[in-house]
Structure 1
């Protein structure tokens, strides 16, 4: 095996470090692009439905990591992981003709349907001091589960979180609220 001198070894280390830094930088740029390419659409739609765009962004991050082609384990679709049933409610409310499940892969349609659904859930729980845990539980686990947990816990968000019987839903709510309120 051929020995290399110190100068050559340092050049190899230097260029490997440069390559690593470039790869990390490109990865970071790609991530930032993926996260922020829907900002305008999120802000416009959030204003329309009177929901904080940071909450919508936090929810999209948790649901799909900003992948508009994401399909969930229960066939939820797109950025906000909308079920076909929820999307049909939105389509019926807004007289969207010829709605198809595949329309949910369109970011604009998905964000409109998902933000509408979230806004409706927030309004339903607006009598609570902090309606967001209740609304996010409804978004994730369905209205009947959220109502059952609320009946067991009263108006306190803390007691509500303790009453949520699905660990995945508790983690879902905590993840979104941490990202929304703390900017993680």
Structure 2
């Protein structure tokens, strides 16, 4: 297996990555969906031809211990994967509980006040800035979307960003650059948090 891998000269590019990959100093760099670049670290020389690929988009990948506990608790209560909720929080607010978008979305999961009212949040302007309330409302909404698109995680993510109406209107992921980038970013972070370890990519390191 080791010798076989060492003879391979190929790079597995994940489907949500865009653009070419360039060899550089024996490694491979490729643009990531999150707007940054993949950071590749060599495991060994051409003997294995493997690198560890750690996504390094803008901002931190780390989750505060208390927030991580709360995300796991809320996700479990709603039958969701904690890695999916974490990915959405990462893309929506970069883990900032007081984040406010230019459109007026609030908190960790960037929920619009009108949507929050339908999710049972009494005072959205105040309550959505509370991490516990925000996560519960967001998870409730995400659970409903997963139920609507049980076999299409990508559509549930797209609907979280663009709305169910847009997904229905286009019978799939809407052709909006923002939504397509959003889906790609969430899926990339979802994979990162789900695995809990860097993705291993076969790659050329001066192989012949």
Q: Place the TM-score, normalised by the shorter chain, in its bin.
A: 0.5 to 0.7
Q: Quick one: structure 1 residues 33 and 58, their matched pair in 2 at CA, closer, same or farther if it must change by over 3 Å?
A: closer
- Structure having the higher strand fraction is 2
Q: Counterpart of 1:68 in 2: which secondary structure?
A: coil
User: What does residue 102 of structure 1 align with?
Assistant: 126
Per-residue deviation, 1:179: 1.0
Q: Of 126, 140, 164, which aligns to 2:161?
A: 140
Q: Hey, which of these two has a bigger chunk of helix by percent? A: 1
Kindly indicate whether residue 201 of structure 2 is the aligned counterpart of residue 177 of structure 1. Answer: no
Q: Which of 54, 79, 94 is the equivalent residue of 1:65?
A: 94
How far apart are 1:33 and its partner, in Å?
6.6
Q: Does 1:117 align with 2:141?
A: yes
SS state at 1:111 partner: helix
Question: Could you state the TM-score of these two structures normalised by the residue count of structure 2?
Answer: 0.60
SS of 2:103 mapped into structure 1:
coil
Residue-by-residue CA offset, 1:89-114 (whole Å, 9 max, x unaligned): 110xxxx6x43421100000000000
Structure 1 spans left out of the alignment, 5+ residues:
1-30, 151-159
1:167 and 2:196 are equivalent in the alignment:
no
Q: Alignment RMSD, CA only? A: 1.8
Q: Which fold has the larger relative contact order, with Cα–Cα distance below 8 Å and residues 6 or more apart in sequence?
A: 2
C-alpha spacing 1:35/1:166, structure 2 compared with 1 (3 Å): farther
- Report which stretch shifted further, 56-65 or 140-149: 140-149
> Residue 75 of structure 2 corresponds to which residue in structure 1?
46
Normalising by structure 1, we get a TM-score of 0.68
